[in-house]
Structure 1
């Protein structure tokens, strides 16, 4: 996928202001929050992912009820297909076929029980969040909204109100009596107990995002009036009369008084010093939706120190690489991707509505943007090359390619400037290095305990024995402007002189290339140019390298001659040099008289 330049997102307020002047029980009369102008300043999806969205945008939601984990990755991908078509239109592509496909399938979700979500407020919201965001985009894009009948627009508004009611019901931290709720007391509208809003982002990002989308349709300033006057029995009557059968069936499984007790008392609890969610009141939400998102959800998604990528050791790695679940340790790429996927959907929505750039909490905005940069840089290699997971008491190996919605997630992350273009990757899990060019006695070791994560499962790595002289293992990728990421571990130094380990860039042949290495003979990190088989040290600095420790090496090989060498991240490289002799060449590994092990090479654009 081509990475395009991140456009500046800009917004203009319109002169129009929506004022709630009628009962929220009359959905067709509630005005839209018509506040922003739209245009090509919004990022458009790539043509590749747009084509995929067009072909996949059939929105068939399968509803699961009591005591089940509802939804599926297929449903999420369909919802993200609709979202992709909507953001493509908003970015200025009004191609009739794309618009018609979007409108047709959204109409199906509003008019057909075979394609209708249930809005129960639990795990299903991981699929339905992007659907609700799509409704919010349509609602605030006049010519898209005009493609729907008055009755269909009323159903959209009812969907939004259902998301608000369900979200408030399961997320409110205090019950009707002002008693702090336990996780076990949080049950969805359809009775599913799998609710853990105080826990992990794969849930909280989706549920709060659904609440946000509902609020942006109803109108942020109208949310309190709706929740305070909410009557579950009356709302179910509205759902039934409007033909939203699946939502009605979900809501009908919880007693009226139970729902009313939680939803109607949020403001009372706020006033009594028992705030709505994670220490924040609903009034905080009205005042600044971004800040409410940041304080209750966003900052809890990126809570760990990065172990890979551009900023190793910096705060921002995703929480679900280092959290717990009912079975103990959770360290899961799959759950992380869910959480980050919903996180960037929320960022897009909040920014679309002007509340990201428009917040007065600029310090918090900078903080979450920095955390996201760290978190996405950290997850890229794990996602592309694979990761040993533990969750729900089980071990499993996972790559991004196992998540069928990943292309849409990847596209939005690219457009937000959070991912780099992946040019090459190899994790050696096929137990060979076919396609690489080897000099020296390289081999595959299949019994190496994995280097990343909390498990001790075994990984395939490529290694060189300590007795081998200068050896290179050169990948098939060749370019002029790229970054090489490679974790490496030295298990033993050989007895001969000239003990080195490192990464190669701009490899022309076995006599001409650049290498960024650690030279154990004299304890130096070095940037070295091989020319005609002879070495020229361009830069060096002292460094201590410990046996048995995994080091994250990163080498920048620029088209401008820039050579930057990082070890375990850092804001600045350990070494930097400039040399323009080799304009293009391959990436690879390098070692001599060292039992060196390498894994998970990733090559990206700069």
Structure 2
């Protein structure tokens, strides 16, 4: 990671969360900064160097703050994955960086295991192929496992990271033998009040985790969904074992970067309205993305709303970022582990799509974007991403340092 980005990460204290029913707490600068430090330590050790003492201390001190309890991830699935996915990858880096892992006490390692398992339970409940619950572990119904990437990718990451952390066989053993009452008692003893509050907020959660079936009973099937639960059930995602990093990431990326790029898109049911870049060129017309007409534009630049209104159309720079930040955290982890494997024509096409989609997004962010979501215009400028606590400098560094060098199609970069 660039030195300036590491310095920026050090300005933020440990990541933290707070449980509030039907709400998601995110402090993305803290979480993404922590991820960046953990990634750096992992890469240094993997490349044959022992991480510097200051880096080991920075990672372990922040992790100890989370392990103290009361500020840990709520582990409920869905939009919580914005920060929980990156944190799960951070735990994976730590577990596989001996200089950091060995600096923790046996008690701290045990609490880290408990926390990672809780993240995996939430991922299994909300995403496993045998589950189709339309609720999170706190009972919130703002979720569907086929919804847009920002709802899904964070907890796919949690499942993948847990399989790396424990090993996929050990992880599945932990899920098959999961016992709600025993595990919640362990969480209480560890002081993990956010998870306990989340998992016990709605009594139906215990029944669903342990026995599957319909959440809140048969008469609620249409609203809450049903599944096999977690106890007794191994975890697969889209037919894949969770240790198939590259195959899972390919599916995520194929969805994320899935449109032919367009800058000016007519707004459905709104005659005369169209999306556009806010900045005008020398000719007095709004700028057009230089990637128009090329395949790979991000999913959320041309999709629909979950909320019904007089126009179902959605094209949103901020929604794109919320998916892209999760995608970049997973992409960087897959590459850091040495599992990046874009073989053949399909792989080359995917690399081109990732490049086009990411650079098209960054161009629109640089010059501002007039979008449309939930029935109204949504104007987003670069300042909305950079000046708010959304982890922008860290995500940009993951793209520029880890992913862009391996996806730029030969000869396709724009002339400067």
**Range class of TM-score, shorter chain:** 0.7 to 0.9
Q: 1:392 is matched with which residue: 374, 377, 380?
A: 374
| Inter-partner Cα distance in structure 2 for 1:124 and 1:242 | 21
- 2:186 is matched with which residue? 238
Deviations 1:401-453 (A, max 9, x none): 3123111111111103528xxxxxxxxxxxxxxxxxxxxxxxxxxxxxxxxxx
Considering only CA atoms, is the larger Rg found in Structure 1 or Structure 2? 1
Change (3 A) 1:59 1:265: closer
Give the whole-Å Cα distance in 1 for the aligned partners of 2:346 and 2:11.
Answer: 39
Is residue 2:14 matched to residue 1:84?
no
Q: Unaligned stretches of 5+ in structure 1? A: 1-44, 176-180, 420-569, 574-602
Tell me, yes or no, if the aligned pair for 2:178 and 2:232 is still in contact at 8 Å: no
Question: CA shift at 1:196, angstroms?
Answer: 2.7
Aligned to 2:67, which of 93, 97, 110? 110
Counterpart of 1:324 in structure 2 is 304
**Residues 295-323 of structure 1 deviation map (CA, whole Å, 9 limit, x = unaligned):** 3x221111111236564322211000111
Pick the structure with more strand per residue: 1
Structure 2 segments unaligned to the other structure (5+ residues): 45-49, 213-226, 263-287
Greater RCO (Cα-Cα under 8 Å, separation 6 or more): 2
Deviation at 1:76, TM superposition (A): 1.3
| Corresponding residue for residue 108 of structure 2 | 152
1:99 aligns with 2:39: no
Deviation string, structure 1 residues 38-75 (Cα, Å, up to 9, x no partner): xxxxxxx212221111002332323322x33x123xx1
Alpha carbons 2:179, 2:231 under 8 Å: kept: no
- Alignment pair present for 1:416 and 2:402: yes
Question: How large is the Cα RMSD of the aligned pairs?
Answer: 3.0
Displacement of 1:268: 8.8
Which stretch shifts more, 227-236 or 307-316? 307-316
Asked if 1:211 corresponds to 2:159, the answer is yes
Q: Is the 8 A contact 2:176 2:232 kept in 1?
A: no
- The residue aligned with 2:259 is 304
Q: Does 1:259 align with 2:216?
A: no
Match of 1:441 in 2: none
For normalisation by structure 2, the TM-score amounts to: 0.78
Q: Deviations over 1:249-273 (max 9, x none)?
A: 2122243221123475679999xxx
- Matched position secondary structure for 2:370: strand
In 2: Cα distance, 1:365 partner to 1:261 partner: 40
2:247 is equivalent to residue 291 of structure 1: yes
Q: What is the rounded CA distance, in whole Å, between the counterparts of 1:119 and 1:265 in structure 2?
A: 16
* Conservation of the 8 A alpha-carbon contact between 1:191 and 1:253: yes
Relative distance call for 1:224 and 1:367 in structure 2 (3 A) is farther
Instruction: Describe the superposition over 1:75-109 as per-residue Cα deviations: whole angstroms up to 9, x where unpaired.
Output: 11110111111222234383433332221111100
Normalising to structure 1: TM-score of the pair? 0.55
CA–CA distance in structure 1, aligned partners of residues 415 and 400 of structure 2:
12
| Residue 395 of structure 1, CA deviation | 2.0
Going from structure 1 to structure 2, the CA distance change for 1:362 and 1:144 (only over 3 Å counts) comes to farther
Task: Give distance in 2, aligned partners of 1:267 and 1:417.
Answer: 37
Structure 2 Cα separation of the partners of residues 266 and 365 of structure 1: 34
- Of 63, 76, 100 in structure 2, the residue corresponding to residue 120 of structure 1 is 76
Alignment check: 8 A CA contact 2:76 2:136 kept: yes
- Are positions 1:250 and 2:198 aligned together? yes
In structure 1, the residue matched to 2:217 is none
Deviation at 1:340, TM superposition (A): 1.0
Q: Distance in 2 between matches of 1:266 and 1:163?
A: 12
Q: How many residue pairs are counted as aligned between the two chains?
A: 360
Distance in 1 (CA, whole Å) between partners of 2:352 and 2:249 is 16
